[in-house]
Amino acid sequence: MKNQPIGVFDSGVGGLTVLRTLIERLPYESYIYLGDTARLPYGTKTGETVTRYALQASAALVDRGIKALVIACNTASAYALPALRQRYPGMPVIGVIEAGAEEACQVSRSGRIAVMSTDSTARSGAYPAAILKVRPRAQIVSIACSLLVALAEEGWTEGSIVGQVLEKYLSPAFARDPPDTVVLGCTHFPVLKREIETVLGPDIALVDSGSTAAAFVEQTLRKAGELANGKTQTDIRFLATDGSDRFARVAQAFLGSSIRALAIETIDLSPFSRVD
Ligand code: DGL
């Protein structure tokens, strides 16, 4: 299994921020990235729908012979992780929430932690549950910032409009007893990091749950003796459920380099609907 690819799944291109960290940390691994672009956003949908979509997308990756599955989507991690672990008991299935929660608990001095996420992730209560497990006296404020997903998709990552939207979302949580740590609990938010830092100022620590998850993936594969043993360049394949041209265009902002449209295969997940 060592040289089989790692499957990375997100509702769209946002998980490429996680893939980028994975490639930096584990450059000799191969990856298959699946963006369920036809059904994005997940962040406004119910837990049942998100779980069903996640099971189908994961089945498509497992079908391609992956050795581990990374749920590079906070919303899918919030709802579908137990179902996925049950479905694939022999395979490491790693989400982004536990890693982000642990890092936030380590970084925060006051124990006051804000979590920026999609509406569905906020509603799931998954971050507060994961944080309280590590730090039972933590005070957590969940901030649903669904509009930021659209801004990131549009490539609007800086400037006055983004600043105003962030102010609107963040200022209520900072009016009294401000948190000292903010978790970027959505894979789209790291591309807005510079603007978020500008709005919050230098004293607030930002935790990117995606990049902390990459360290979890490394630990998990090392423990299982499943790290790739080659020393050759990473092979990366991209799958999207809709529009490879748009995927390639938006992906550049997330991956930080260009992806040839040719390298993206458009797939249909309907054959995997039997897994529900
Ligand atoms: N990938 C999703 C997440 O991390 C954000 C995009 C969406 O709403 O589908 O929560």
Number of H helices, E strands in the chain: 11, 10
CB of 120 sitting under 6 A from ligand 1: no
Same domain, 198 and 74: no
Handedness of CA 20, 186, 269, 244 (dihedral sign): negative
Same domain, 142 and 10: no
Same domain, 115 and 158: yes
Whole-number CA gyration radius for the chain: 18
* pLDDT tens for each residue of 134-189: 999 999 999 999 899 999 988 899 999 999 999 999 999 999 899 999 999 999 99
**Residue 153 burial by CB count (10 A; 0-12/13-18/19+): exposed, middle or buried?**
buried
Q: Is residue 71 part of a domain?
A: yes
* pLDDT tens for each residue of 46-96: 999 999 999 999 999 999 999 999 999 999 999 999 999 999 999 999 999
Contact 74, 209 (CB under 8 A): yes
10 Å Cβ neighbour count for 182? Answer: 27
Same domain, 74 and 124: no
Q: Among residues 186, 192, 207, 253, which one is catalytic? A: 186
Final residue of a domain: which of 189, 209, 229? 209
Asked if the peptide bond before residue 128 counts as cis, ω within 30 degrees of 0, the response is no
Same domain, 102 and 205: yes
Contact 59, 275 (CB under 8 A): yes
* pLDDT tens for each residue of 243-270: 888 888 888 778 876 565 557 899 999 8
pLDDT score of 258:
54
Same domain, 230 and 198: no
Q: Is residue 1 part of a domain?
A: no
Q: Is residue 268 part of a domain?
A: yes
- Tokens coding 220: 């998990």
Mutation test of ligand 1: which of 153, 187, 212 has the most ligand atoms closer than 8 Å to its C-beta? 187
Residues β-bridged to residue 238: 33, 264
Final residue of a domain: which of 179, 209, 239? 209
pLDDT score of 220:
95
In total, how many domains does the chain have? 2
Percent of the chain with pLDDT over 90: 80
73 is catalytic: yes
* pLDDT tens for each residue of 96-143: 999 999 999 999 999 999 999 999 999 999 999 999 999 999 999 999
Q: Quick check: 217 pLDDT over 90?
A: yes
Q: Is residue 171 part of a domain?
A: yes
Q: Is residue 167 part of a domain?
A: yes
Ligand 1: atom nearest CA of 42 is 9
Q: Quick check: 276 pLDDT over 70?
A: no
Distances, alpha carbon 74 to alpha carbons 127, 181, 252, in Å:
9, 18, 21
Looking at residue 32, which CATH number applies to its domain? 3.40.50.1860
Tell me the residue length of the chain.
Answer: 276
Of 23, 98, 18, 34, nearest to 66 (Cα)? 34
- Tokens coding 118: 């999609």
Same domain, 253 and 182: no
Same domain, 18 and 60: yes
Q: What domain range is 204 assigned to?
A: 97-209
Same domain, 102 and 199: yes
In the reported structure, the alpha carbon of residue 78 is separated from the centroid of ligand 1 by a whole-number distance in angstroms of: 11
Final residue of a domain: which of 176, 192, 209? 209
pLDDT score of 86:
97
200-226 per-residue burial string, b: 16 or more CB within 10 A, e: under 16: beeebbbbbbbbbbbebbeebbeeeeb
Same domain, 117 and 155: yes
pLDDT score of 253:
75
Q: Quick check: 239 pLDDT over 70?
A: yes
pLDDT score of 259:
61
Provide the 8-state DSSP code for 179. -
145 is catalytic: no
Same domain, 113 and 41: no
Of 62, 63, 115, nearest to 93 (Cα)? 62
Q: From CA 272, how far away is CA 157, in angstroms rounded?
A: 35
Q: Is residue 58 part of a domain?
A: yes
Angle at alpha carbon of residue 120, lines to 88 and 82, rounded to 5°: 20
Same domain, 39 and 140: no
What residues have CB less than 8 Å from 266, skipping those under 6 apart? Answer: 239, 240, 241, 242, 243, 244
